[in-house]
Amino acid sequence: MAPPLKPKQVAAIPMAMAGRALLLPLFAAAALAGAACITVGAASAQDIQRIAAIVNDEVVSRYDVQQRIQLVIATSGLKDTEEMRRRLRQQVLRGLIDENLKNQAAKSQSIKVDKADLDRAFGFIEQTNKVPRGQLGRYLKANQIPEAALEGQLRAEIAWSKLVRRRLGRSVQIGDEEIDEVLARLKANAGRSEHRISEIFLSIDTPEQEDEVRRTTMGLLQQLRDGAAFAAMARQFSRGATAAQGGAVGWVQPGQLSPILDQAIANLQVEAVSEPIRAAGGFYLLQLHERREIAPVGKSSMKLSMKQIILPPVQGADAGAIEAQKQLVRAASQSATGCAGIDAVATQLQAAPAGDLGTVALTDLPENIGAAVKDLAIGRLSAPISNQDTVMLLMVCTREEIKGDGPSRESIVEDLTSRRLATLAERYLRDLRRSAVVELR
């Protein structure tokens, strides 16, 4: 790394386009985020020496920026073109600046990340992505993902998580009235729809940033429309409390968010992404994943164990081919003899072996699937169900009634604590940004 240069212009940079954590969409369950890192690549020695930014006397090199751009492209589904790299550069650079601030804050409190921490993180990634134990390095290489870059990210987020728990954990207290409010909302919303959503949030730290943040939000929306994965872009660029989880907010009910966000969600189609929404604190992009009815608290529901058959694509789109498949499905449905014989049915349909969906609550199923299996006779195949780009048949193996007592007070406390701590961590990072001295080169 080149020796530090004297700053030509020193300023606290407003980070309207700052990223949070970039984790692979493949690694969605691992709620981790990253730091600037040096990885193997094709950059020249000159690129490694050149400085992109100085953050409180620590350097972010242009090589760091190039490698992070490569990581974003490799994991988000974006096209690798010079134009795309140019569009990503400023977003990525401000993300790396944020990550340096996180590392510096953790270091100031003597926070360390040991080998056991990393082993657990790598093990979790392997487990959630069904990678054989110890084979993560080979898996990353096959997907053109720099291993050293991922390790740097893991180190940074583990250190940040430790710092947040140590510094902020004791300040979070959940009172009985907050728990009662959640329970009352659940009761009041019974029969209405709740929504599973993800978000990308770009904050506005000063009034002067509004136009810049609006333009950045529109740029992210265009990248999503160009094919970028929402979760990957949220991890890289969102400044919301959910960034480390790929923007996943989870299930939200009417009244849980601000009215303007509630209205935007209500107008979205499943899997659609909203236009930029100006709300308190900044701009949002929202993606709707599922919509379902809220079950009344205390009302009985069902727990189902099921199996599925994914039908092979119809060869050709003509009406004759489609009708032939329908006839085959009807014949197979008549011969179905229960879950024990479903593999034979799959063979008859020239499909892959049947998949075991395990046991799920009826209320957790998407609306169209729940309607198809709610009253389906045990051991009989459902009518064909379209689910995105696939067509499937479902079979209920067992059905058990369960009492819907709603969430326990303990689980509500856990959820509220997690949300509160994430919000405090976001504010802490914002304070670090405001007090930082940053020079862009």
DSSP bridge pairs for 381 = 395
Ordered DSSP codes for 107-171: HHTT----HHHHHHHHHHHHHHTTPPTT-HHHHHHHTT--HHHHHHHHHHHHHHHHHHHHHHGGG
CB 19 within 8 A of CB 236: yes
d(CA 320, CA 176): 63
d(CA 147, CA 149): 5
Does the pLDDT value for residue 168 go beyond 70?
A: yes
- Please give the average per-residue pLDDT across 47-73, as a whole number: 84
- Mean residue pLDDT of the chain comes to 79
Does the pLDDT value for residue 275 go beyond 90?
A: yes
**Distance, first Cα to last Cα, the chain:** 15
The pTM (predicted TM-score) of the whole model is 0.61
Task: Give the phi and the psi of residue 287 in degrees, each rounded to 5.
Answer: -120, 130
d(CA 432, CA 434): 5
Q: What is the pLDDT of residue 303?
A: 85
Q: What is the pLDDT of residue 44?
A: 46
Reading the block at residue 257, the tokens are: 């968010």
**pLDDT tens figures, 293-328:** 876 665 556 788 999 888 877 665 566 666 777 777
- Cα dihedral across residues 249, 255, 257, 261: positive or negative: positive
pLDDT band at 19 (very low <50, low <70, confident <90, very high): very low
Q: What is the pLDDT of residue 405?
A: 57
Q: Which residue has the higher pLDDT, 406 or 415?
A: 415
d(CA 200, CA 285): 5
Does the pLDDT value for residue 45 go beyond 70?
A: no
CB 286 within 8 A of CB 268: yes
Residue 80: is it exposed, middle or buried by C-beta count within 10 angstroms (0-12/13-18/19+)? exposed
Does the pLDDT value for residue 283 go beyond 80?
A: yes
Ordered by where they begin, the domains of the chain are 25-170 (1.10.4030.10), 172-296+407-425 (3.10.50.40), 300-403 (3.10.50.40)
Does the pLDDT value for residue 200 go beyond 90?
A: yes
Q: What is the DSSP letter of 11?
A: B
Q: What is the pLDDT of residue 46?
A: 56
